Amino acid sequence: MMFHFNRFYEAYMQIKTGDFNYFQSIFSFDQSGRIVNALYGPDFAYLQGLLMFLTKNWFRYQLLSSFLCFFIAGIAMFSLTRKTKMNYKLSVFISLLYMSSSVISYYALSQNMTSWAAAFLPFIYIPAIRVVQNSQKPIKPIELALAVTSVGFLHNLTLFLGILSSVPFYIVGFVRTSHKKEMIRDFFLAVLLTILLNINTLIGFAEVYLTNQLVYPNFFEDVLSYTTYFDIGDNTYSSLGLIFSCVMLFQIFYLFINWKSVSLLERLLTIVGAIFLLLSTNFLPWEDISQYTNMVQIIQFPRRFTVVAYVFLLIAFAFTLEKGIRNLGNKREKMVYPVLCMISFLMIANVNLKVLQSAEAWETDDPTAAGNNGVWTTTDDPDELRQGFTSGQYEDVFEVIKKPTPDYLPLLNGTTQEELEEQGGYDMYDEQVVNNELRVSKTIDNHNNLVLTWESNGNEEETLPAVIYSNSQINFNGNHYTSEQISKTTLGAPIVQSESGTNQFTISYEPLVNTALLFVIKFFTISLLVILAFVKGIRKFLNGKN
């Protein structure tokens, strides 16, 4: 939670003050200058920053953003099911189930950013369904580009899973279509549009990763504790619960028992969904796998694979349900829909209960009981802690909770990820930056760069509470230095020899590609697509009128 709140606060303050710095954190993360938003959904961060102007404090922000996450998840799933030409009532049922699943609800419960990506994920499968259903025009370039972009501006890993799980659909569509050249042309046009729409994210991400060795998010050695399991209890982040366990297993068994009577689309949905469900469970020897590949460190939690299983297996189950209802006749059909309404209500009520339990914990003497930030609080006063989230000053929360997350910091001095974890990356970042003992004043200069000022009694070696990268440019007491000319700690904090009196250390970041140019390309592409959509709408209106 605190990691993402820092990201959104950075975007909010840059919009509020007009001091834009695409790469450096000049307001958040203790004004350390570390690079986060450029690596992690920058467009989405700025959208969340705009939401913060409406809500005025973190409490109302969580209410509004949680509502939007649920709402978009429902709309996305409903749009996908209607694309498959599913019964309207079943589309509503499946959308409600998806909204109540843990992959969506855990944003409201713990600000899990995967939930936002899961909310948009069904959009990425609309073009995939089209490829299978429409052999004459398998790909609409703009539709595919917008679908991929909708997830890409949020979460890189979920985008990768979405693309990976879509591949079988495109292979089948390519084999079936007689317009292979047109399909290849439209595919590459969609790729080009996607690159142009995400050019700031792609170039920024590539630049920082290729010029620095970065700290990966924390890897948990007990991998099996972060897998998905079947259960007859509640649906939680690790447990499928009774309803989803029954739905998914029923659909998988139904497919193999009734293989010949099942359509190609249903087979694809069920098989791909089952594969991703298997990948998320402890049926695979994840602890052994983690010893031979870095994939587990990138995925971090195998249970993340379930996001694909939820989408595909729910839709496939709806197809099965639709055929079953059709064979029942009108009288029995009237009994089925009340049962579906009951199931939807129970699932939604279960999510509501968990929200209420978290709300009750918030009102106790231990407000962080429902989360994992208790160890990082700076106060034992529960009222002071609550005030940090409900005051009209967003920055207050960073005074009561200081979590030193080292993700995406530069990893220097030949230190490996494993060595950093052994040495305690959180503690190192906490000591060097978050709670650095040096009394430093941090300001923003006219070029939106971070300026550190402090007083010194003489020629002393100081570790400054900031972070510099390979392309960082330094001005120290009037002298210009490159990043390579400055000594740094393992996590990129600069080490300097202070002079007697006032010292000033300015950090800027010089990207390889001009950021303004990237945004010009991006917004030109968006404007062009808006114009094309407007012209198409006018033509459609005139043709309909004629």
Among the ranges given (256-265, 369-378, 428-437), the one the predictor scored with the smallest mean pLDDT:
369-378
pLDDT tens-digit profile of 355-393?
A: 888 888 888 888 887 777 778 888 889 999 999 999 889
Task: Give mean pLDDT, residues 436-441.
Answer: 92
Using a pLDDT cut of 90, give the percent of the chain over it.
64
Instruction: List all residues 6 or more positions away from 390 whose beta carbon is below 8 Å from its beta carbon.
Output: 57, 58, 59
Say if residue 546's pLDDT is above 70. Answer: no
Q: How many domains does the chain have?
A: 1
Q: Is the residue at 16 inside a domain?
A: no
Using a pLDDT cut of 70, give the percent of the chain over it.
98
Say if residue 452's pLDDT is above 80. Answer: yes
Q: Is the residue at 224 inside a domain?
A: no
Beta carbons within 10 angstroms of residue 62's beta carbon: 17
Q: Is the residue at 460 inside a domain?
A: yes
Q: Is the residue at 408 inside a domain?
A: no
Q: What is the CATH number of the domain that holds 495?
A: 2.60.40
Tokens 């190609």 label which residue? 264
> Could you tell me the pLDDT band of residue 297, with boundaries at 50, 70 and 90?
low
> Could you tell me the pLDDT band of residue 493, with boundaries at 50, 70 and 90?
very high
Task: Give mean pLDDT, residues 73-78.
Answer: 96
Residue 377's beta-bridge partner residues? 401
Contact in structure between 468 and 492 (CB atoms under 8 Å): yes
Q: Which residue range is the domain that position 481 belongs to?
A: 441-509
Please tell me the chain's helix, strand, coil percentages from 3-state DSSP, rounded to the nearest 5: 65, 10, 25
Q: Is the residue at 480 inside a domain?
A: yes
Beta carbons within 10 angstroms of residue 99's beta carbon: 24
Query: In angstroms, rounded to a whole number, what is the distance separating the alpha carbons of residues 525 and 538?
Result: 20
pLDDT of residue 446: 92
> Could you tell me the pLDDT band of residue 298, with boundaries at 50, 70 and 90?
low
Q: Is the residue at 447 inside a domain?
A: yes
> Could you tell me the pLDDT band of residue 333, with boundaries at 50, 70 and 90?
confident
Say if residue 477's pLDDT is above 80. Answer: yes
Q: Is the residue at 378 inside a domain?
A: no
Q: Is the residue at 64 inside a domain?
A: no
Tokens representing 114 are 């995967």
Contact in structure between 430 and 465 (CB atoms under 8 Å): no
Task: Give mean pLDDT, residues 130-155.
Answer: 91
The sign of the torsion formed by the CA atoms of 326, 330, 335, 337 equals: positive
pLDDT of residue 366: 86
Q: How far is CA 237 from CA 124, 302, 310, in A?
A: 23, 11, 12
